[in-house]
Amino acid sequence: MHKHSIQKLNDLPFNRTVVLIKENDATTLKELYKTNFAKVKRYVLKNSGDEQQAKDVYQEAFLAMWRNIKNNQFSAESETAINGYLFQIAKYKWLDHVRSVKYKNTTFINRDIEYDEPEIEIEDLKNQKIKIIMECIGNLGERCQILLKLFYFERKNYKEIAKILSIDEAYARTAKYRCQEQIKKMTQTNPNGSK
The residue ranges that bind other proteins (CB under 8 A) are 24-27, 29-30, 33-34, 37-38, 51, 55, 59, 62-63, 66-67, 70, 126, 129-134, 137-138, 142, 145-146, 148-156, 164-165, 173-174, 177, 180, 183-184
Nearest distance from residue 95's CB to other proteins, in Å?
A: 21
Give the 3-state secondary structure of residue 173. Answer: helix
Nearest distance from residue 105's CB to other proteins, in Å?
A: 31
Give the amino acid at 144.
Answer: C
| Residues 136, 93: Cα–Cα separation, whole Å | 27
Complex with other proteins: residue 7 or 193, whichever CB lies closer? 193
Nearest distance from residue 113's CB to other proteins, in Å?
A: 25
Q: Which residues contact 109 (CB under 8 A, 6 or more apart)?
A: none
Q: Which residues contact 164 (CB under 8 A, 6 or more apart)?
A: 150, 156
For the chain, the residue count is: 195
Complex with other proteins: residue 94 or 151, whichever CB lies closer? 151
Nearest distance from residue 91's CB to other proteins, in Å?
A: 18
Helix axes 51-70, 26-46, angle to 10 degrees: 140
